[in-house]
Amino acid sequence: MKHSCKFLHSSIGKKFTVGAAGVLLCLFLVFHLSGNMLLFVGESQFNAFANTLDTNPLIPAAEIILAAIFFAHVVVSLWLRWQNKQARPVGYADYRAKGGRTAGSRTMTWTALLVLAFLIIHVKAFRFGGRDGGMYHLVLSSLSNPYMAGFYLLALAGLALHLSHGVQSAFQTFGLNHPKYMPAVKALGWAFALIICGGFAVIPIWALIKGGL
């Protein structure tokens, strides 16, 4: 216990925690997206899947674990961010550091906040909202609202940016950086971000088109 506490308290341990939680959240995204794709298979299939999730007694437990992972990712990131702020009490008047800083890396906190705001709305609507007309209907009705769809797309763009840095960064944090493979890892980070977020983005666009018709 003492040992793991020491590890988790350390700068490197905290980074590791954020990275590991991030990877698990990425896996969740894959699962979530695959479920969502049932939207395009058919209304009854999608509703049946949603119903299965709603009635499966293991799901609340899984949700608690997922929330814990998410919570760890957020809280430890905030902790790191707070420490990083402390580490430079007087800032530069002129700061133009070069290197591997990307739009993604620079905006990690902002994209995180955006995704957080999105999650609150998203979870409220789809996890705790009413399911009267079935999940298929719920998706279609809420996302055919252009404001809502726009917000979803914005949040997904933020998530993509977040992942573009997050995925390859996790590899570095786990100590996986080799001149032969790192370019591939970086490409993988972007590919993952674009596929996942692109996949999710199809839904509000589809809802807009379908709902508008």
**Is residue 175 left, alpha or beta, with left meaning phi > 0 and alpha meaning psi from -120 to 50?**
left
Using rule CB under 8 A, residue 173 touches another protein: yes
Query: How many residues are there in the chain?
Result: 213
For another protein, the binding residue among 67, 68, 78, 176 (CB under 8 A) is: 176
**Under rule CB under 8 A, residue 6 binds another protein:** yes
Q: Is 41 helix (H, G, I), strand (E, B) or coil?
A: coil
- Taking contact as CB under 8 A, which single stretch among the options 4-12, 27-35, 113-121, 155-163 is the one that binds another protein? 4-12
Question: According to the binding rule CB under 8 A, does residue 101 interact with another protein?
Answer: yes
Q: Is 162 in the site for another protein (CB under 8 A)?
A: no
Report phi then psi at 101, rounded to 5: -70, 130
Nearer to another protein by Cβ, of 104 and 204: the residue is 104
Residue 148 structure tokens: 């809502």
- 107 touches another protein by CB under 8 A: no
What is the distance in angstroms between the CA of the first residue and the CA of the last residue of the chain?
59
Burial of 74 (0-12, 13-18, 19+ CB in 10 A): middle
Q: Does 7 participate in binding another protein (rule CB under 8 A)?
A: yes
**Residue 1 binds to another protein (criterion: CB under 8 A):** no
Told to check if 48 binds another protein by CB under 8 A, we report no
Sequence-separated (6 or more) residues with CB below 8 Å from residue 120: none
CA 181, 186, 188 angle in degrees (round to 5)?
90
Piece in contact with another protein (CB under 8 A), picked from 33-41, 95-103, 144-152, 203-211: 95-103
Rank residues 13 and 211 by Cβ distance to another protein and give the closer one.
Answer: 13
Residue 178 DSSP one-character state: -
Closest distance of CB 80 from another protein, Å? 5
Rule CB under 8 A: which residues touch another protein?
3, 6-7, 10-16, 80, 83-84, 86-102, 105-106, 108, 165, 168-169, 172-179
